[in-house]
Amino acid sequence: MFSFLMKKAGIFLAKKQGAEGSKEKKEDKPKRLSKKLPENLSVIREIMKGSSDIIIREFYLNLDRIVEGALIMVDGLTDDRIINDNIIYPLMHDARQHLKKTGGDMDIISHIRNSLLSASQVKEETDIDEILNGFLNGDVALLVNGAAKALIISSKGWEKRAVNEPPSEAVVRGPRECFIENLRTNTALIRRKIRNPGLTFESLTVGKKTGTNVCIAYIKGVARQELIDTIKKRLTSIDTDAVLESGYIEQYIEDFPESIFATVGFTEKPDVAAAKILEGRAAIIVDGTPFVLTVPLLFVESFQSAEDYYFRPYFANMLRITRVISYAITILAPALYVAITTFHQELLPTSLLLTTASAREGIPFPAFLECLIMLMTFEILREAGVRLPRPVGQALSIVGALVVGESAVSAGIIGAPMVIVVAITALSSFVTPNEADSAAVLRLILLILGAVLGGFGIAIGLLGTLVHLSSLRSFGYPFLYPIAPFDVEDSKDAILRAPLWLMIKRPKEMSTDIKRQTINVPPTGKDIKDNKGELI
Amino acid sequence: MKISVKQAGYTAAAFIFTSALLTKGVYMYLRQDSWVAVILSFLVSLIFVYIYATLNKWFPSKSLIEINEAVFGKIIGKIISAGYLFYFFTLIILNARDISGFVGYILPTTPYVVIMVAFIYTCSWAVRKGAWNIASYGPLIVFVSLFVIMLNGLFLINDIELNRLAPAFTFPPIKYIAGTHLLTALPLCEIFVFFMFVPYLQKADGLGKVLFRGLTVGAAALLFIVIRDIVILGDTLLILSQPTYSVIRLIDVGDILTRVEILYAGILISLMFIKISVLYYATITAAARLVKTSSHDYLIRITGALAVIFGLSVFSAEYEHMDWTNRAAPIYSSFFIMLLPLLTLGTAAIRGLNRKNK
């Protein structure tokens, strides 16, 4: 249904845009620098007219005031120490000596680059757009009179948040660092986990107005080249003005935008991103976002946590099963409650039936309406709790839980079992945070089906969901793999997790280098037995 | 993407498994000896699977419609293909009727039309997503169903009385033949419909393996269910309209684990969903190949609408449906899945098409 509506809306909007499209201006050809500094500066001043944060620092490179130069930078994006000590000082002080010695007949830009600047990254540019891009990214642009080239000198240094504990993926055991908004810090966090020369960070710029830096991280020789090519193709085909969060990228590159299920994963933990990269997946790091995208995403990944691999397998598996059950509860509990109380009362044991019936006695609404009211109340409380300042939020949850829940029951508007059902539904939805959004929609669909057709409706709804899920692909990989199509070998890390020493191979078809470790099963058990296999 | 032999094999098992949950017919003939019919029909079905496999080997990666045209020529081939198309369509109707009857038993006040429309619509959605999709979740549903059925058997261990299997081999031979024929023609050899999946198989001549796997798993499950029903219900088999459902209703482990029939209802609906989706898909592809069109969407809608209309009006009463299933359906089915394939094989052999293809 969603896909049908989206297709129709897409066709309508495309037609409208097609009519207006001819009015759009065509972009100019790239502008080149001229050899005259005043001319170049006036072009840049004209483009950046009205911006108070643009600093243009003009100076002379020698005492005779023959060679003029200018530095262009954005206030607040640069590190003043680097600019003063490593750029301005050598240019104004050391340049005099150098220029005297070498005379005036050399390529001044190359000379400055090779002999004067003590900055780590310097590159030459001739295109004005690239120069603009350079200083808007926090670098300094150096323009010299008589040269049709500029130097972009690395001097980034803006305010950024410290690497602290991940707020939405807190763990009991495992690293407590989290990605931040700065792209380079994020790439460094991954590089620190994977000290392998194959780890590659490929950069792109997305967003015509925001010029957001995006980085694709993968290991050469582990990730499949087709996957990387597909990601690059999809990223470069994004034609939008702004990318403010990785969510923008996610919605532009996913395989099924009309589905309620996301087919691109996200994480704010470097260890999770590193683990996925090591499995042959790719991570997409977007500047300004602490959430790193990972592709391809499989449905089972929503039930996995980094901790599963740090704990021993038995407890980890228990947790995983708990997550699956929680997901089932969060999508099914309200629908099942409504279906059973409305159509299939015989399914309840007699004593439970009597208790439920007496609790619902005098309730003015049918179970379906009662359920909708409670779910809506919960969603309001949750949304309000997120938006309100933290201390008020806590007070609000007490109001919600005690006042609304308790008083609604005692006033006889809502039955006590319904409060329990909605409470357990809400609680379970927090166990699988990555699927919380899809669960909210699915819950409502199943609730309506359960209220109209009872258990049969729920069964139909679940089968429809299964059909939909198995038709989804994430960058070409079946979303339900390794459950549908079922694969025994790759089920070693799906719903259950095998011991680490049994995970000999990477997921099939995800990686070009499938072998992860040599077979040594069990790794240490042989130490306590003698050669005949008897216990010492 | 192409379908692997394993995927298609387990989906074929789902096909048989579905009928295993509606086994009333065979009990009518053989009561406590019904298990004999299961074994005999498995053996007979093996012969037919061999015939289908041979046809597939002679005409690799070709669907039934193309084989018919190759063997009988354009006109007669098309007429025979139209016959198959009609047969697949009637199977959709009959199975949709089965599931509506069962759901109507649980939801007595819900009209059949609502159930039928909801079910056929969901199946049409599955068909729209393609053969690979159906075969990808087919095995999952089979594994879950097998697990539930085995677990149910375990919970009922207290109610088992093995002497309900006695006396054995007391019926006249004709009844054994009739029972075997019923089981062979109705659930077991219906996997013939997988001939329409051949163009999408990874192995162009892998139909034999697919059907053998499906038949073995399906027949084993059928045998288990039939024996379980007999040793638990005994003679009451005959008076119950849904014996398997009634068996599961008996489960009561320490007053905690009761009313597990909801699980049975769930797996029956899921398996029936697979079966009708496969039949629906076969009908659509047969029709599309016959009229040489690629716009499947219209065919899906038309077939769905027709299936609902005929499904609702084909039988005036539940008894009529049962009578058809037990008496007429095996003969009707035999013509399409036993006689016609034999005829096709014979004609192909006489015309020397097997050698030509090789």
Kindly list the strands in the beta sheet with A150-153, ordered across the sheet, starting from the edge strand earlier in the chain. A54-60, A68-74, A140-144, A150-153, A122-125
Q: What is the mean pLDDT of residues B70-98?
A: 92
B140 → closest Cβ in A347, A457, A483: A483
Render pLDDT for B209-248 as a digit per residue (tens, 0 to 9): 999 999 999 999 999 999 988 998 888 887 877 788 888 8
Q: Residue A390 — very low, low, confident or very high, per pLDDT cuts 50/70/90?
A: confident
Confidence at residue A532, expressed as pLDDT on a 0 to 100 scale? 63
Confidence at residue B109, expressed as pLDDT on a 0 to 100 scale? 83
Confidence at residue A214, expressed as pLDDT on a 0 to 100 scale? 94
Residue among A251, A296, A233, A316 at smallest CA distance from A492 = A316
Residue B153 covered by a domain: yes
The answer to whether the Cβ–Cβ distance between A456 and B107 falls below 8 Å is yes
Q: What is the DSSP string of B254-306?
A: TTTEE-THHHHHHHHHHHHHHHHHHHHHHHHHHHHHHHT---HHHHHHHHHHH
The answer to whether the Cβ–Cβ distance between B262 and A457 falls below 8 Å is no
Q: Does the CA dihedral B63-B64-B65-B66 come out positive or negative?
A: positive
**Tally of structural domains, chain B:** 1
Is the distance from CB of B176 to CB of B40 less than 8 angstroms?
yes
Contacts of A43 (CB under 8 A, 6+ apart): A31, A128
Q: Residue B156 — very low, low, confident or very high, per pLDDT cuts 50/70/90?
A: confident
Residue that has been written with the tokens 């306590």 in this structure: A528
Is the distance from CB of B5 to CB of B213 less than 8 angstroms?
yes
Q: What is the mean pLDDT of residues A165-169?
A: 86
**A224-238, A253-267, A356-370: which has the minimum mean pLDDT?**
A356-370
Confidence at residue A487, expressed as pLDDT on a 0 to 100 scale? 87
Q: How far apart are CA A380 and CA B312, in angstroms?
A: 45
Q: Residue A359 — very low, low, confident or very high, per pLDDT cuts 50/70/90?
A: confident
The answer to whether the Cβ–Cβ distance between B115 and A456 falls below 8 Å is yes
The answer to whether the Cβ–Cβ distance between A456 and B110 falls below 8 Å is yes
**Average pLDDT of chain A, as a whole number:** 86
Render pLDDT for A423-440 as a digit per residue (tens, 0 to 9): 899 999 999 988 999 999
A467 → closest Cβ in B110, B133, B269: B133
Structure tokens at A217: 């991280």
Q: What's the one-letter identity of residue B120?
A: I
- Chain A residues with beta carbon closer than 8 angstroms to that of B136: 470, 478, 480, 484-485
Q: Residue B316 — very low, low, confident or very high, per pLDDT cuts 50/70/90?
A: confident
pTM: 0.90
The answer to whether the Cβ–Cβ distance between A459 and B265 falls below 8 Å is yes
Contacts of B64 (CB under 8 A, 6+ apart): B81, B84, B195, B196, B286
Q: What is the mean pLDDT of residues A396-419?
A: 81
Q: How far apart are CA B77 and CA B357, in angstroms?
A: 18
A455 → closest Cβ in B130, B265, B273: B265
Say if B129 is an interface residue toward chain A (CB within 8 Å).
Answer: yes
In this structure, the number of other CB atoms found within 10 A of the CB of residue B51 comes to 19
Query: Is the confidence at residue A249, as pLDDT, over 60?
Result: yes
CA distances from residue B253 to A351, B154, B155, B158, B291 in whole angstroms, order as listed: 17, 10, 7, 10, 56
φ and ψ of A202, to 5 deg: -100, 130
Query: Is the confidence at residue A105, as pLDDT, over 70?
Result: no
Residue among A290, A126, A133 at smallest CA distance from A208 = A133
Q: Does the CA dihedral B264-B268-B271-B277 come out positive or negative?
A: negative
Say whether A156 sits in a helix, a strand or coil.
Answer: strand
Confidence at residue A271, expressed as pLDDT on a 0 to 100 scale? 95
Is the distance from CB of A350 to CB of A309 less than 8 angstroms?
no
Confidence at residue A191, expressed as pLDDT on a 0 to 100 scale? 95
Query: Is the confidence at residue A351, as pLDDT, over 70?
Result: yes
Render pLDDT for A505-530 as a digit per residue (tens, 0 to 9): 888 888 888 888 777 666 666 566 65
- Chain B residues with beta carbon closer than 8 angstroms to that of A471: 129-130, 133
**Average pLDDT of chain B, as a whole number:** 89
Q: How far apart are CA B211 and CA B54, in angstroms?
A: 12
Is the distance from CB of A165 to CB of A178 less than 8 angstroms?
yes
In this structure, the number of other CB atoms found within 10 A of the CB of residue B40 comes to 17
- Residue B196 sits in a domain whose CATH number is 1.20.1740.10
Render pLDDT for A447-472 as a digit per residue (tens, 0 to 9): 999 999 999 999 999 999 999 999 99
Terminal-to-terminal C-alpha distance of chain A: 67
CA-based nearest residue in chain A for residue B129: A471
Query: Is the confidence at residue B264, as pLDDT, over 90?
Result: no
Query: Is the confidence at residue A2, as pLDDT, over 70?
Result: no
The answer to whether the Cβ–Cβ distance between B136 and A454 falls below 8 Å is no
Confidence at residue B341, expressed as pLDDT on a 0 to 100 scale? 93
The answer to whether the Cβ–Cβ distance between A467 and B139 falls below 8 Å is no
Structure tokens at B192: 């013939």
Structure tokens at B21: 């949950």
Q: Residue A65 — very low, low, confident or very high, per pLDDT cuts 50/70/90?
A: low
Say if B106 is an interface residue toward chain A (CB within 8 Å).
Answer: yes
Residue B346 covered by a domain: no
The answer to whether the Cβ–Cβ distance between A456 and B103 falls below 8 Å is yes
Adjacent-strand bridge partners of A151 = A124, A142
Domain-by-domain residue ranges, chain A?
Answer: 37-153, 183-297, 310-477
Q: What is the mean pLDDT of residues A132-151?
A: 89
CA contacts within 13 A on the Cβ side of A38: 0
Is the distance from CB of A282 to CB of A223 less than 8 angstroms?
yes
Residue among A268, A290, A265 at smallest CA distance from A279 = A265
Confidence at residue A161, expressed as pLDDT on a 0 to 100 scale? 87
Q: How far apart are CA B275 and CA B18, in angstroms?
A: 7
Adjacent-strand bridge partners of A203 = A215
Confidence at residue A520, expressed as pLDDT on a 0 to 100 scale? 67
Domain that holds residue B67: 5-340
Of A370 and A523, which is predicted with more confidence? A370
Render pLDDT for B317-344 as a digit per residue (tens, 0 to 9): 878 888 888 788 889 999 999 999 999 9
Of B207 and A389, which is predicted with more confidence? B207
Of A531 and B94, which is predicted with more confidence? B94
Contacts of B45 (CB under 8 A, 6+ apart): B184, B188, B189, B215, B219
Q: How far apart are CA A360 and CA A422, in angstroms?
A: 15
Q: How far apart are CA A275 and CA B15, in angstroms?
A: 41
Confidence at residue A22, expressed as pLDDT on a 0 to 100 scale? 52
Plot region of A81 (φ>0 → left; ψ -120 to 50 → alpha; else → beta): alpha
Q: How far apart are CA A379 and CA A217, in angstroms?
A: 37
A vs B: CB pairs below 8 A: 78
Let me know if A331 is exposed, middle or buried by CB neighbors in 10 A (0-12, 13-18, 19+).
buried
Q: Residue B355 — very low, low, confident or very high, per pLDDT cuts 50/70/90?
A: low
CA distances from residue B66 to B63, B77, B303 in whole angstroms, order as listed: 6, 8, 21
Confidence at residue A294, expressed as pLDDT on a 0 to 100 scale? 96
Q: What is the mean pLDDT of residues A475-481?
A: 92
Terminal-to-terminal C-alpha distance of chain B: 27
**A391-395, A441-445, B269-273, B340-344: which has the minimum mean pLDDT?**
A391-395
Query: Is the confidence at residue B15, as pLDDT, over 70?
Result: yes
B137 → closest Cβ in A454, A456, A466: A466
Residue B102 covered by a domain: yes
Q: What is the mean pLDDT of residues A127-133?
A: 89
Is the distance from CB of A480 to CB of A304 less than 8 angstroms?
no
The answer to whether the Cβ–Cβ distance between B119 and A484 falls below 8 Å is no
DSSP character at residue A92 = I
Confidence at residue A30, expressed as pLDDT on a 0 to 100 scale? 65
